[in-house]
Amino acid sequence: MREFDLIEYLAGALGARRGAHEGIGDDGAVLEVPADRQLVVSTDTLVEGVHFESGLDPVDIGYKALAVNLSDLAAMAATPAWYFLNLTLPAIGQRWVEGFTQGLRQAAEGTGIRLVGGDTTNGPLSITVTVCGLVKRGAALTRAGAEPGDTVGISGPTGLAACALADLQQGRTPASDCLRALRRPQPRLGFGQALGDLAHSGIDVSDGLLADLGHIARASSVGAEIELARLPSAAGLSALPEQQRRDLQLGGGDDYELCFTAPESSWPAIERAALASGCLAIRIGQVTTGEEVRVLLPDGSEYTPARRGYEHGGSSD
């Protein structure tokens, strides 16, 4: 498939949405943002062998490439609108492109997001997606709003994706719920939009629960405490030794659940929003004064995990 055939195929398969006056086929997309809304933009790159296994089904690659970006919009209480796709491919095979496009469609289903531009080039397999979302003016949920006394919440269990990745790397067959978390993360869009009116801060868990809660703490100039016994678990983690399970829950990463802080008065509404969105709302700790993010055992002593999460640059705590 030639480059312009690929562009024409993607344009026909994934389309442009209302509000994009000009898009695929022009030098740039012309996007119209309503006067009472602000534009939220996020971008992520997935590289073969780093963010997904070599030889992975292109349907799963396409799905995850868009889903992880939609999760960023969820974390900021935004409604998806448009996205841009930059594809670096070693070769342009019709079957691969069709599968990849199917995955993008599956991730986009029900969200209203449409492709409006991007670029294609030749090289090692790499996918960069840039998403644009809309949020009520002044209502974006950021990392900087956490307040001492807030409750820390999570939208679902963490550690499953990291458990699946470790199993695959060691030649084991992952548990089905762990493999699903790794390859088919669920962006919490509806819940995230509801949190915009209920929470003080939010983030999606991509680097690991402790690392990402640490991002909130630094941005908000606060500390936090996680109660280890409150962390939600799942079937795929149940057979692991306790310390391994804890460390995956705290520092595994690639989960794409929402971690947020909210006043206690908001929790009845938060729990209703979670139920309506098909996810959880679990209290796991509290925001404190100071700067430290600590993990507490049931007896009140501090737990020191083997790792706190992924650090960009290639190392972890």
Q: Are 123 and 90 in contact (CB under 8 A)?
A: yes
Cβ-contact 16, 23 below 8 angstroms: yes
Q: Could you count the other beta carbons within 10 Å of the beta carbon of residue 157?
A: 21
Q: Are residues 162 and 94 in the same domain?
A: no
Is a pLDDT exceeding 90 seen at residue 316?
no
Backbone angles phi, psi at 224, to 5 degrees: -160, 155
Residue 52: pLDDT band (50, 70, 90) is: confident
pLDDT in tens, 110-154: 999 999 888 888 899 999 999 999 999 999 999 999 999 999 999
Give the tens place of pLDDT for each residue, 67-96: 999 999 999 999 999 999 999 988 868 899
- Residue 261's domain is classified under what CATH number? 3.90.650.10
Q: What is the pTM of this model?
A: 0.92
- Residue 141 inside a domain? The answer is no
45 near 123, Cβ under 8 Å? no
The CATH code of the domain that includes 13 is 3.30.1330.10
Q: Which two tokens stand for residue 244?
A: 């391994």
Q: With pLDDT > 70 as the criterion, what percentage of the chain qualifies?
A: 90
What distance in Å separates the CA atoms of residue 105 and residue 100, rounded to the nearest whole number?
Answer: 9
Say if residue 17's pLDDT is above 50: no
Q: Are residues 129 and 168 in the same domain?
A: no
Tell me which residue range forms the domain holding 226: 151-308
The string of pLDDT tens digits covering residues 263-308 is 999 999 999 999 999 999 999 999 999 989 999 999 999 999 988 7
Query: Are the beta carbons of 114 and 167 closer than 8 angstroms?
Result: no
Q: Is residue 256 part of a domain?
A: yes
Number of Cβ within a 10 Å radius of residue 105? 15
